[in-house]
Every structure is written in C-alpha cells, then in structure tokens.
Copies of this chain bind each other. A is one copy, B any other.
Amino acid sequence: MEAVSRTPVSLDQVARAAGVSRTTASRVFSGNQAVSDLARQAVERAAAELGYVPYNATRSPAASRSESVGVVVPEPGSRLFLEPLLPRLLRGIGEELSASGIQMVLFSPQSPADVHRLEHYLAGGHVDAVLLLTLHESDALPSRLQARGIPTVFGGRPRGSIEVSFVDVDNHAGGRTATEHLIEQGRRVIAHISGPRGLHAATDQLQGFREAMWNAALRSDLVEHAAFDRDSGEIAMERLLASTHRIDAVFAASDEMAAGAMWALQVLGRRVPDDVAVIGFDDSPVAATTQPPMSSVRQPIEDMGREMARLVLSLASTRADGHRQMILGPELALRASTIGRG
C-alpha cells in the first residue's frame, strides 16, 4: 500500500482522502485540539496510506516556532577548545534541549565567508534561539539576531559589551580554590603554570592564584606561561625548578600541563606529593591516569551547558528582552597528588 511518490504528499491530499477538512487534519497532527476519534482514525489511515510526512519548514513565526535551537561551535579541528570541554558542553546543552523536545542544531563556520552566510541563515528564522560558544565573535551576528528578536546566550563571558546574556564558569574562583587547597595542605612555595597570556580564562585563574597567595601572605611571583599542552607544561616546570629549588607545590591551568609538570618533577628526582604537590585544572581523563592520580579543579561544564539551554529557552518563551548572566562555581576533585606529605 505504501506509495513511494516522487512528490511529497501535502496535508490537503490527506484531508481529502480522509473526507475531512484540512483544518481537522492539521489538528490531528498538531495534536493539541479536540478531534473526534472517527475523524482522527480516518486521517491517520489516509496519512499512512499516502505516506504523508509533515512539512514543518513553512510555519509562520507569529504562530508556532521551528522547535530548534542553533549552537555555534568553533571549527572542527581547532584545538584549545576541542579537547575535553566541547563534548561535555554539548552533552549538557543537548540533554536539556532534548528534555524540552527541542532540536539541537550545530554550526561550525570555517571561514569568514561561512560566518557571513551563517548570520543570514540564523537571522532567517530557521532557529528559535541561538547559543554562541565561539570566542572570537563577529559583532554583526548578535546584533542581527537581536533585530530579529532571536534570543541569544553566550557560553563564556564575551569580551565586549555587557549587554548580553551569558553563562560562564568561575575561573577566578577555580584558581583561588586550587591555591587555597595547596595552602591548607601546608604548602608554602607554590608555583603556577598559567595558560597563554591574554586568554581570558587563563588571566582569571592567575588572578585567583594571586589572590589566594596574597591572603596567605605568600609570594606569588613563581608564574610561567605555557600553551596548555603537556610538553609546554614540562618545559615550564623545568624553568620553575631552575629558578627556585624550594618549590613544594604547583598549580597548573590544565591537566595536560600538570601531567607534563609532574613528569618533569619526577625525572628530576622530586617525589609527588611528598616533595611537591601538583594540582591541575579541568578534571579531564588525564588526571585520573597519572602516577600518582592528580587532584584537579572540576568546572561544572555539563551544568554550564544545561544552564545555557535552560536560559535561552526561558528567554524564548517569555520574550523578555532583559539580559541575564550566570556564573557557576568550581569543585575540587581531590586525588593523591596533593594529599598527605611523606
């Protein structure tokens, strides 16, 4: 019976075949209105026989929406963001949207031309709301979306204006918490391996480190910058040890760098945690596999994704034009690399 026609079947055809009006047929599929069982069954039978597939793309904006939210992610293959964070963030976003029956739609522009086309596409009403995860943000996109009345939420605080909604994790608190933990463990000469200069997240962590050290009246000048990866962490640690032999703890801005630092320490005969405690950042899989297992600052990235989704859906439903901001605090994942001494 299944007719595989070349041209799509319209709601009108289904309605005619079922002997009802297009209105009634529409109600059967949208589901929220009263339709008699008789009519419903007739429509459903006709739809099955004709192979009807609802065509939702033409819904008007005044009425129902497209039931989808766009998420703009950095281009695939861009490091720095890709490693462990993006999947966790997307999982959080996806879970929350899925629970609301909303389709998550991903975009990954690879060139300026792509960004330009994406602006048109998103402003064109194909999605009900937009989440922006990409950092180097074109200015045109948010304002275009605003002109269309499309709610937008940033992941991570954007550099520019404050007139936007965003959700971020608290890197400042993360840096402070990690450092305070080391101080509580009795460490006094604490070094910090920071991320690249100028990067927002790295700067926040560094200031958190400095604040904690200042509060404890400890010197906070043992700082090296590195590129987030293992090798540069190893080199940074070697430089730190060359400058001061008395270091008894290290806080690195990523687990990769912390693992590199731990390696450098052990190669040079320092015991972890007996001689030097090591704490990383992100609580990535690496942290659990080092020898000894490594303490790390766990940012609630999945929660961040969920909150982004929740926030943008709330903005979309209330159509309020206010801006909301949310900052989520870190947790410590404590393991052997910072616990105990000797």
Interface residues of A (CB under 8 A from B): 4-8, 51, 53-61, 66-68, 75-77, 86-88, 90-91, 94-95, 98, 101, 103-108, 110-111, 113-114, 117-118, 120-121, 123-126, 144, 146-149, 321
**Beyond known contacts A56-B120, A98-B113, A98-B117: 13 more, CB 8 A cutoff:** A4-B147, A55-B61, A57-B58, A57-B66, A76-B87, A94-B114, A98-B110, A98-B111, A98-B114, A101-B117, A103-B118, A103-B121, A106-B107
Closest Cβ–Cβ distance, residue A230 to chain B (whole Å): 12
Closest Cβ–Cβ distance, residue A149 to chain B (whole Å): 6
Of the candidates B8, B98, B104, B108, which one forms a contact with A61 in the assembled complex, judged by CB atoms under 8 Å apart? Answer: B8
CA distance A99 to B5 in the complex (A): 32
Which B residues are in CB contact (< 8 Å) with A60? Answer: 58
Contact present for B95 and A110 (CB under 8 Å): yes
Contact present for A54 and B110 (CB under 8 Å): no
Which B residues are in CB contact (< 8 Å) with A104? Answer: 107-108
CA distance A220 to B105 in the complex (A): 47
Contact present for B126 and A110 (CB under 8 Å): no
Contact present for B61 and A6 (CB under 8 Å): no
CB nearest neighbor in B for A121: B103
8 tightest Cβ-Cβ pairs between the two chains A and B: A106-B106, A56-B124, A77-B87, A76-B87, A57-B125, A76-B90, A55-B125, A53-B123
Tallying the copies of this chain within the complex gives 2
Which B residues are in CB contact (< 8 Å) with A87? Answer: 76-77
Closest Cβ–Cβ distance, residue A60 to chain B (whole Å): 6
Which B residues are in CB contact (< 8 Å) with A149? Answer: 6-8
Please judge, given known A-B contacts A56-B126, A60-B58, A124-B55, whether A148 and B8 are in contact too, CB under 8 Å: yes
Which B residues are in CB contact (< 8 Å) with A5? Answer: 147
Which B residues are in CB contact (< 8 Å) with A113? Answer: 98
Closest Cβ–Cβ distance, residue A189 to chain B (whole Å): 35
Which B residues are in CB contact (< 8 Å) with A148? Answer: 8, 53, 55
Please judge, given known A-B contacts A6-B149, A106-B105, whether A61 and B53 are in contact too, CB under 8 Å: no
Please judge, given known A-B contacts A55-B124, A147-B53, A321-B6, whether A90 and B117 are in contact too, CB under 8 Å: no
Q: List 18 A-B contacts (CB under 8 A).
A: A6-B321, A8-B147, A51-B147, A53-B123, A54-B120, A55-B148, A56-B126, A57-B58, A57-B59, A58-B60, A76-B86, A76-B90, A77-B88, A91-B110, A98-B117, A103-B107, A104-B108, A106-B106
Which B residues are in CB contact (< 8 Å) with A321? Answer: 6
CB nearest neighbor in B for A114: B98
CB nearest neighbor in B for A102: B117
Which B residues are in CB contact (< 8 Å) with A106? Answer: 105-108
CA distance A117 to B8 in the complex (A): 20
Please judge, given known A-B contacts A58-B60, A124-B55, A148-B53, whether A117 and B95 are in contact too, CB under 8 Å: no
CA distance A147 to B144 in the complex (A): 36
CA distance A341 to B108 in the complex (A): 46
Contact present for B57 and A57 (CB under 8 Å): yes
Contact present for A124 and B6 (CB under 8 Å): no
